[in-house]
Amino acid sequence: MSYQSIEVRPLTGTMGAEIRGVDLSGDLSNQVKSEIHQAFLDNMMIYFRDQTLTPQRHIEIAQQFGKPAIYPFLKGLDEAPEVNILQKTENDTVNFGGVWHSDTAYKDCPDMGTLLYAHQVPEAGGDTLFANMYLAYETLSDGMKAMLDGLIGVNNSDKSYEGGRAANIKKIDGMKDDLADEVPTLESEHPVVRTHPETGRKGLFVNGAHTLRFKDMTVEESKPLIDYLCAHAVRPEFTCRLRWQPKTLAVWDNRCTQHFAVNDYSGKHRLMHRVTIEGDRPN
């Protein structure tokens, strides 16, 4: 697409782009909004540098992509319940999101997109990796595609959290006070191959954090294929890496990407605000 009102600078040949020439704190024309949305669909992850966003403005920008969601496992800000604090302090050894995943795949209607805004980041480290699930599917053999056709994945919110998700979040000093009231384990069934409702492209919808097994199969029976698909999905040539700076806003499409928060900044502080967007049932 030829963009008239914004500058779109690709991050890699695979996915991701920086959007320039936009001040998100002010009013945006309909054309700018339309071009940002198209860049979001074209690049799967877009980011904006040097943006000054209050929590309320963060929500307003999210509303341009859809309806902001309430994350079930964390309390939002008092003045903006859709905004979650994701924080790792100098004393924490584990981080939030440090495994390849697509946000809330365990919900009946997983969140469509995520907007993450950087308040404080280490001088080096704390990057986020993203992977293109269109390419993950398109590069599979015809035989594998045929086998996956119609296969249903069972996604579970506690899969990567021994003892439960809440208990593990509680181990993160910077987030333990933001836990929501007790939430039961969430589980959902979704196609392993998902068709994007806006682009029509097929993508792999399996991730190591949440996909527990395949429907009508045991965990043990499912594990070899899940492990293969998860390793294949994040091959280096399918990925990009975002280096955060303060006042950076990233927006990504959970319907066709996975992401991984790198935990390589021991003894440093990282503070982010996150808003997710309600999605629909995968098909």
Residues 253-264 pLDDT 10s: 999 999 999 999
Q: What is the CATH number of the domain that holds 86?
A: 3.60.130.10
Active-site option among 58, 101, 165, 255:
101
Report yes or no on 175 lying in a domain: yes
Measured CA to CA, the distance from residue 252 to residue 247 in angstroms comes to: 16
Report yes or no on 283 lying in a domain: no
**Token pair of 129, please?**
């990796």
- pLDDT confidence of residue 171: 72
- pLDDT confidence of residue 120: 98
Report yes or no on 2 lying in a domain: no
Report yes or no on 133 lying in a domain: yes
DSSP for 69-120?
A: PPPTTB--BTTBTTPEEEEE-TT-SS-TT-S-B-TTTTSSS---EEEEEEEE
Mean pLDDT score of the chain, rounded to an integer?
95
| CB contact set of 192 (below 8 Å; sequence gap of 6+) | 148, 151, 152, 153, 204, 205, 206, 214, 229
Mean pLDDT over 114-118 rounds to 98
Active site residue 273: no
Mean pLDDT over 232-261 rounds to 98
Active-site option among 196, 259, 270, 273:
259
Active-site option among 58, 165, 273, 274:
274
Whole-number CA gyration radius for the chain: 18
Task: Confirm whether pTM is higher than 0.85.
Answer: yes
Report yes or no on 246 lying in a domain: yes
**Token pair of 124, please?**
């080096």
DSSP 66: S
Active-site option among 103, 111, 158, 253:
103
- pLDDT confidence of residue 169: 77
Residue 177: CB atoms within 10 Å: 10
* pLDDT band for position 182 (cuts 50, 70, 90): confident
Percent of the residues in the chain that have a pLDDT greater than 70, as a whole number: 96
The total number of structural domains that make up the chain: 1
- pLDDT confidence of residue 181: 77
- pLDDT confidence of residue 1: 66
Asked if residue 196 has pLDDT above 90, the reply is yes
Asked if residue 112 has pLDDT above 90, the reply is yes
Active site residue 101: yes
Report yes or no on 195 lying in a domain: yes
Residue with tokens 């029509």: 200
Active site residue 259: yes
Active site residue 190: no
Residue 196: CB atoms within 10 Å: 18
Range in 107-121, 160-174, 235-249, 251-265 the model is least confident about: 160-174
Asked if residue 163 has pLDDT above 60, the reply is no
Sign of the torsion formed by the C-alpha atoms of 112, 242, 138 and 44: positive
Report yes or no on 179 lying in a domain: yes
User: What residues make up the domain containing 118?
Assistant: 7-277
Report yes or no on 1 lying in a domain: no
More confident of the two residues 33 and 165: 33
